[in-house]
Structure 1
Amino acid sequence: MAYKILSPCGRHSIPLSFFNMVSFSALRKVMENLAKSSGAMTEEQLDFLLLNLHHLSKYRAEQIFPSVNEYEILQIVCGNIRDFHRLKMNGCVEHEIIENVLPHFQLMAERIGHFLLDDDELIDRDYRLSKPAHLLLNIIPTQLEVMHMCHKNLKSSTSAEVGRFIEHLSETSPDILREYLIHLQVHMVNVITTSTSEARNIHVMIEFLLIILTNMPKEFIHHDKLFDLLAHVGELIREVSTLVRYLEENSRNEESTIDHATLDLMENIELMKEDLKHVYLKSPDSSQLYFPMSDGSLFMHLLLSHLNDLLNSNAYSVALIKEEIKLVKEDLEFIRSFLINVEQEFYKDLRARVLDLAFEAKDVIDSIIVRDNGLLHLIFSLPFVIRKIKLTKEEVPNLLDKIQKNKGLIIVKSPTKHVERKSLTTGQTIVGFKEETDLIISKLTSGPKMLDVISITGTPGLGKTTLAYKVYHDKSVCSHFDIRSWCTVDKKYDEKKLLEDIFNQVTGSASKYRDNIDVANELRKHLFGKRFLIVLDDLWDIAAWDELTRPFPEAKKGSRIILTTRDKKVALYAQCHSVPLDLRLLRPEESWELIEKRVFENGSCPDELLDVGKEIVQNCKGLPLVVNLMAGVLAEKEKKRTVWLQVRNNLHSFILQNEVDVMKVIALSYDLLPDHLKLCLIHLASFPKDKAITVFTLKLLWPAEGFLEQREMKSVEETVEVYLDILISSSLVISFNERGKHPTCQIHDLVHDFCSIKAREEKLFDLITSSAPSSSSSLDLMPRQMAIEYNKDRFWDSNFVLFDPKKRRHSGKHLYSLTITEDELHDSLLDICHLRHLRLLRLLLLHQSFIKVNDSLLNEICTLVHLRFLYIRTEVKFLPSCFSNLWNLETLWVNNDGPPLVLLPTIWNLVKLRVLAIYDCSFFDLDTDEPISITEDSKLEKLRILWGLKLSYSKDTEDLFKRFPNLQELSFNLKESWDCSTERYWFPKLDVLNVLESLKLTFESSNDSAPSVATNRLWDFFLPLSLKLLMLLKFPLTSDSLSTIGRLPELEELYLVDTIMEGEEWNLGEEDTFQNLKCLTLQRVTLAKWEVREESFPALEKLRPWECPKLEEIPPSFGDICSLKSIELWRSPQLEASALKIKQEVEDMTGEDRIQVVVDGIQVVVE
């Protein structure tokens, strides 16, 4: 039979509909003939199948993307089999050699034919896209058989046709074998769910073979040894395939008999590493990379942390080089410990050499893991850099001996020479801070007779020194003290010189003192019996305070010390009687007064410049340092509106011109931070300016980014809080903490600019807003973290980091963290969006506005085994079983657009999970009410937060929560389940959660209308005694139900939302006491009558009735609660009169304006 319809030369003129009709009919006939041929497959039949594959990939590319690559591989495999078959037909291969494989050819042809017919008929796109991978797994083993026969029987053939075939086979095999291994690995993860040493060994071997086959450097390999190498790889793949099939068949057995075989695989890896060295014509250039960053200490901290994480990971790629990573880490730690204890100016060459080697080691290790020229690095570069590091390490003992012999010349950790710094107040115009000035003067001139310390703390450039200077020169202060002295400390101070300076100010002399003079003692004698004021300006640490204040006597003369510091810890340590003053930002009117005085001196600003000037002031954000800089700029400019408009429009550039002054001030604080806190501070600049950052967000991101040092006896969350406290104490971070809201923090715009510059210098993160290459986007200088604000109008799609690296340019292989927000990715690009090449990723945040992750992308995410943080949007019902591969995952956040997502048993394998937030999700299939099998010992012991759960009654639900012994925050929807035996709603046993602090519950009624209150006790609440926050939404409640809640001893915040109260009343009896409740919020509660006693809420600080139209007044007994600070009303105008009455009565009784009344967000002031 002849198949001439689909000849290549005529394919462009054939209509697609005609092609489909003829192709379908012809395929049917081919399949019928194949079935009758009993193994006698013809070359013509194979040609026909090949042409169909070609036309399918060409004419239906849009329908089958991203499977085009698989179709191309299928064509190559079929072409190779066809050409091998042709060797037999041409008499180049004896029939005896090929006869055993002919049935495989026949079966392969039948499978391709059926695949083409199925593909033509299939409607379901997802199913169609999964078919090529399945077919590849079935037909590539046939090519492996061909490779085996060629290597065994045809390698020595003198036939030119055979030689050409083997050469073509060598060219095409790496891509074919690599594709097969990738699909085999995915197949293993999805099918073999039990974790065994055998499965792990197979995965490691697959990883090793993929490194060989990816970016194979053929120009370095002996041509005559290339086919031998590929044949050897093919043999190993055949062995691996057999073991995978065996594991699949026996995956349910507890014991396996193939352990010895998989151990042989591991031995093969080591043997092949040695053999590979002899395959190369020459070793590749191993010239050293040079350290590109500015802060070597910061880089070493990051690198050692990264290596430690790799050693603790279960990644198969890491298993290949685990011993090597351990050697690098140990040797670099040894060298680093030596360099830390030696002055910076000594051994500069050694420091530079070590940093170059460390950077080279990082590049080599990461390149192996991401398969970026991995084979070259594995065989040559890694052993070479290890040897160089070892040789450098061996130099250290000799250097230590040298240090010991030259003790007089080299001082370990010697203090840096003091550099004098002039006070920043010189020549400044001083305005603002009137209340603060009056307060400090009052503390200086009155108060206790004992020595007192008035501390001023705050952000760099905030005006601490200026304020101290202002009160220091106040006339009343000058006349009050017998002696005054001003001492600017600086962070690298000389104690003796500073004490001399104070002594000379006190005595009015200008002497210099010999070393044998005890200046401290002389100063103490001179101060004794006198009332003195000493300013210690810009003190940096507690040790400096202790040293400098030793000479100050504590006689009861009313003496004072003014201390300015950016570190609140120092102020708290120095505190005697007065509480430290945290200096605020300048108010807009104060900023304007400062600019007006400096620019116009004794005059006033012309009306035409007022609006522009105040806009400029607004952009200074209240930081005196910036206001002063801008005042200096305006003072030098013409007093014309056009000129000032130009300044306003170029405000940022004017500030940048003075960047050196601004950055020096901030750098002083930054330089004092340890490396891990520098990273945390710089990371805050990855958020937009002026954005309040929740502490909760940092608790998720900082661990994922690898910024935290391991701390015994402290949880991850506690460690983040400690880090933030230090940064806040250093005045580099501003903290906001309001009850009822998540604590937040923020950095000033100038600190943001400083950190952004540091981030670029240290290649830490990059913000991309278009496809234009950034300053640090070249591959060798890729930042650790990339944040992309994707805009479909600005991006050239071919440059986008997620696109398939085989088809498009990309620059993301070495990324550790990727965040993408803004526009939604165009539908036509979804199928070419890939993640598998980002193999080092620790953090992946694909914002819900950007992409809805499909099944294909979910399977690729499963290969990112280093992930610690994952945030995605999807609509699948089940996460794929391969998610068990993400052993390192700590945060899993899924915005679910589909039906409730059922958490398969594989979720219990993610033992490092701290946060699980999936809206909506369930551990049971709510459609069938059938439970998912959970083994007895399944627990998530590290889980702290579980959000988005849907729960209904099931016998298996009862013991669910005991599997989360350390859960601290929980939110779930409770489906209505009435227990006829108790005549109550069913409620889960949450009292097993002994450390739970926050609970949010939403009741889902089975009726469309809201549930009614039919009994006195609707619920038996099984709540943990540890609860501090409870939010109930849509719950029907009675007074008795609330009495049960009131007995929770630690409860501080209670929110009742959309609550139906029995009889529309809440009566609190004598025994009903919310002992520790500080905030009570009632939102849309059907409450008309409310009886409250003074003892009902003894600790209440904030009362918030919101949208409660049936409640006519706030019970007057709230006025008897001494702790009450505010009443906040929202859309409840009928309650305003009673709230103001309570406020007035309290003020009349106590004489204090103690209670704030806020109505619809506006504070009400009583005249």
Structure 2
Amino acid sequence: MDRRRFCKDFQNGKSLEEVAIDYLEDLISRNLIQARKRRFNGEIKACGIHDLLREFFDDYCKALPPVARSIYLFSHFDQPLEFLSRFNLLRVLAIFNENVSCQSFPLVITKLFHLRYLQFPFHNDIPDSISELQNLQTLICGRDAKFSGYPLDRSYSLPGKIWMMKNLRYIRMKGLLFLSSPRTESLLTGMPNLEEFSILCSTSCTNEVFSGIPNLKRLIIHLPYEINEIFNRQLDMSRLIKLEAFKFYGSTFFRHPIKRIGFPTSLRRLSLTLCSDFDWVDISSTSMMLPNLEELKLKRCLTFSRKWRLSDENKFKSLKLLLLSGANLIHWEASSNNFPNLKCLVLKGCHTLLEIPADFGDICTLKSIELHDCPPRVEDSARNIVQEQEDMGNNFLKVYIIHNNYSYTAVISLLQTLDQRNPQLFHGHTAEALDSLHATAEYFQNVLENASKSRFDTEKIKSLEEKIRVAASYAEDVLELKSSRIVKVSRWKFGISQHLDLLKAVKKWIQQRNK
């Protein structure tokens, strides 16, 4: 890292996180880090490293000098954790290997006084001894698992002494987390630097807890697993005046969630999962309560009414992403004035919805509509919106129709990658090849949509789908490597030619089928 550049960035008024993101993007551009997932606006959501780098780190770790500042363990490591005791200056310890298991929190870790970052697959309550790490800024513990609904069967407790760790910035536990209220003397300091907290049990959400974390920016709250402990009071988050992102995982027993949660007006991203018995009017009211809201996600939420009608007063002025997943919505009445800055509309499994409001085509900022396993009538309404815009000479709106098969998903993913490519990196014949590849992918998209309705040989259709999936996935990998400007020319040409050869094969198959 160039220290002069690092200092210059701070002099320009950038925060620590902003500077880190700049360096992360630089590593991604050099293909040292992979951006596994990005948000709709291009922000990095998840990243990883290549297998070769991972193996290099594991081998290098065995020969690290005692002055090492960072250790990352990815695969099996046959030494006991006591080997860490010789790294007195260690600042970063990240153990990704899930096979590393300890019944009690390793004492050797609590002696690493200079530790700033700790990621460790520990699956029990965090002990008081964690407070000895007074320089710790990031704490990530628990089994790595995709969080969706109720996937985790573990719960944890943080010790009361955690409130004395004033340098903590991120707490991320991969399970349900219980936190006691701070003692009076702890409130004088609390955790003023804490910016992210997940996954906090709703029963721990008291005014005293929120007062101890006043600068929180990202928060995930989950209802307790036991039905008899379902939380039945108001959840007032108005003290969290800097909160920007909030996710809430409820249950069918938690009713009227919108009226029972006091959202801070600072919210930019809001996600509600498994909430029930509320009205679409409550959702409409958030447009006035949350003027800064940019992302709204409703997942598996069931409402009283099956009709969402937005009036002229219901204007989501800042909303850029709207996602509805598993909604029991039937009728949706809205105009372009209700979502003046919407960029992306995502509908997943909305099986009862009749159509997308036709006025969505008049939203000049709308760039994409994604439909995942939605009924044909919804797909037709999306196509009609796009066709109407194209008839008027507007070609900026894209529709991605995704069904529950891997080949279709691979083709859609490839199309999205092509649509998001940086035109400055591709010129001449390469740009022409990409345009041809885009046309091929669109052709495959239509073939797969028609194949799903076909009455012809099922085995041949499955074989065709698998070939398309392999080609689409490979081409996307090659495209991402080409974007990093390190792929060999021969591999790049092979990735493109493979698609073009498959195009000929598919066309031939279609002709034979028609005969």
Q: TM-score, normalised by structure 1?
A: 0.31
Contact 1:985 1:1018 in 2 (8 A): no
In the TM superposition, residue 732 of structure 1 has moved relative to its aligned partner by: 11
Indicate yes or no: 2:84 matched with 1:835: yes
Q: Which amino acid aligns with 1:986?
A: R
Partners of 1:1087 and 1:965 in 2: CA distance: 37
Q: Which amino acid aligns with 2:19?
A: T
In the TM superposition, residue 836 of structure 1 has moved relative to its aligned partner by: 2.5
In the TM superposition, residue 1132 of structure 1 has moved relative to its aligned partner by: 0.9
Partners of 2:373 and 2:46 in 1: CA distance: 30
Q: Which amino acid aligns with 2:190?
A: K
Which one of the candidate residues 312, 325, 329 is aligned to 1:1087? 329
Partners of 2:7 and 2:295 in 1: CA distance: 31
In the TM superposition, residue 1157 of structure 1 has moved relative to its aligned partner by: 0.8
Which one of the candidate residues 982, 986, 995 is aligned to 2:233? 986
Partners of 2:31 and 2:38 in 1: CA distance: 16
Which one of the candidate residues 962, 965, 970 is aligned to 2:214? 965
In the TM superposition, residue 1145 of structure 1 has moved relative to its aligned partner by: 1.4
Q: Which amino acid aligns with 1:817?
A: S
Contact 1:824 1:849 in 2 (8 A): no
Aligned twin of 1:716: 16
Q: Which amino acid aligns with 1:892?
A: L
Q: Which amino acid aligns with 1:716?
A: L
In the TM superposition, residue 724 of structure 1 has moved relative to its aligned partner by: 5.6
In the TM superposition, residue 731 of structure 1 has moved relative to its aligned partner by: 12
Aligned twin of 1:1040: 281
Distance 1:726 1:1028, change over 3 A: same
In the TM superposition, residue 1155 of structure 1 has moved relative to its aligned partner by: 1.4
Larger Cα-atom Rg = 1
Q: Percent identity?
A: 27
Contact 1:996 1:1026 in 2 (8 A): yes
Aligned twin of 1:431: none
Partners of 1:1024 and 1:675 in 2: CA distance: 38
The equivalences for 1:209-220 within 5 A come to none
Distance 1:740 1:961, change over 3 A: farther
In the TM superposition, residue 1054 of structure 1 has moved relative to its aligned partner by: 0.8
The equivalences for 1:74-473 within 5 A come to none
Contact 1:967 1:993 in 2 (8 A): yes
Task: Kindly provide the CA deviation profile for residues 154-186 of structure 1, in whole angstroms up to 9, marking residues without a partner as x.
Answer: xxxxxxxxxxxxxxxxxxxxxxxxxxxxxxxxx
Partners of 1:820 and 1:733 in 2: CA distance: 16
What residue ranges of structure 2 are gaps of 5+ in the alignment?
A: 144-151, 403-408, 416-441, 447-515
In the TM superposition, residue 1158 of structure 1 has moved relative to its aligned partner by: 0.4
In the TM superposition, residue 919 of structure 1 has moved relative to its aligned partner by: 2.4
What residue ranges of structure 1 are gaps of 5+ in the alignment?
A: 1-297, 299-673, 678-706, 757-764, 771-785, 788-800, 802-809, 926-930, 979-983
Q: Which amino acid aligns with 1:743?
A: I
Contact 2:343 2:367 in 1 (8 A): yes
Q: Which amino acid aligns with 1:873?
A: P
In the TM superposition, residue 1038 of structure 1 has moved relative to its aligned partner by: 1.4
The equivalences for 1:640-679 within 5 A come to 674-675=2-3
Partners of 1:1002 and 1:1097 in 2: CA distance: 26
Aligned twin of 1:815: 68
The equivalences for 1:501-540 within 5 A come to none
Aligned twin of 1:489: none
Distance 1:876 1:1020, change over 3 A: closer
Indicate yes or no: 2:410 matched with 1:1109: no
Task: Kindly provide the CA deviation profile for residues 453-488 of structure 1, in whole angstroms up to 9, marking residues without a partner as x.
Answer: xxxxxxxxxxxxxxxxxxxxxxxxxxxxxxxxxxxx
Structure (1/2) with the larger helix percentage = 1
Distance 1:728 1:992, change over 3 A: same
Indicate yes or no: 2:28 matched with 1:739: no
Contact 2:218 2:245 in 1 (8 A): yes
Aligned twin of 2:485: none
Distance 1:747 1:1043, change over 3 A: closer
Aligned twin of 1:1030: 270
SS at match of 1:991: coil
Partners of 1:745 and 1:1000 in 2: CA distance: 17
Aligned twin of 2:131: 884
Q: Which amino acid aligns with 1:850?
A: N
The equivalences for 1:624-1023 within 5 A come to 674-675=2-3, 711=10, 714-723=14-23, 738-739=39-40, 742-743=43-44, 767-768=56-57, 786-787=60-61, 801=62, 813-823=66-76, 833-855=82-104, 857-877=105-125, 879-895=126-142, 899-924=154-179, 933=183, 935-952=186-203, 957-975=206-224, 986-1003=233-250, 1005=251, 1010-1011=252-253, 1019-1023=259-263
Contact 1:874 1:898 in 2 (8 A): no
Partners of 1:1025 and 1:903 in 2: CA distance: 29
Q: Which amino acid aligns with 1:900?
A: S
In the TM superposition, residue 733 of structure 1 has moved relative to its aligned partner by: 9.6
Q: Which amino acid aligns with 2:275?
A: F
SS at match of 2:364: coil
Partners of 2:108 and 2:69 in 1: CA distance: 16
Distance 1:676 1:728, change over 3 A: farther
Task: Kindly provide the CA deviation profile for residues 863-905 of structure 1, in whole angstroms up to 9, marking residues without a partner as x.
Answer: 010111100112222x221211101111110115874221112
Partners of 2:122 and 2:47 in 1: CA distance: 32
Q: TM-score, normalised by structure 2?
A: 0.66
SS at match of 1:1063: coil
Q: How many residues align?
A: 392
Contact 2:187 2:212 in 1 (8 A): no
Q: Which amino acid aligns with 1:1043?
A: S
In the TM superposition, residue 992 of structure 1 has moved relative to its aligned partner by: 1.7
Contact 2:334 2:359 in 1 (8 A): yes
Task: Kindly provide the CA deviation profile for residues 342-363 of structure 1, in whole angstroms up to 9, marking residues without a partner as x.
Answer: xxxxxxxxxxxxxxxxxxxxxx
Partners of 1:768 and 1:885 in 2: CA distance: 28
Distance 1:1052 1:977, change over 3 A: farther
In the TM superposition, residue 1108 of structure 1 has moved relative to its aligned partner by: 1.0
Q: Which amino acid aligns with 1:1153?
A: N
In the TM superposition, residue 1092 of structure 1 has moved relative to its aligned partner by: 1.4
Distance 1:1093 1:889, change over 3 A: same
Partners of 2:303 and 2:141 in 1: CA distance: 35
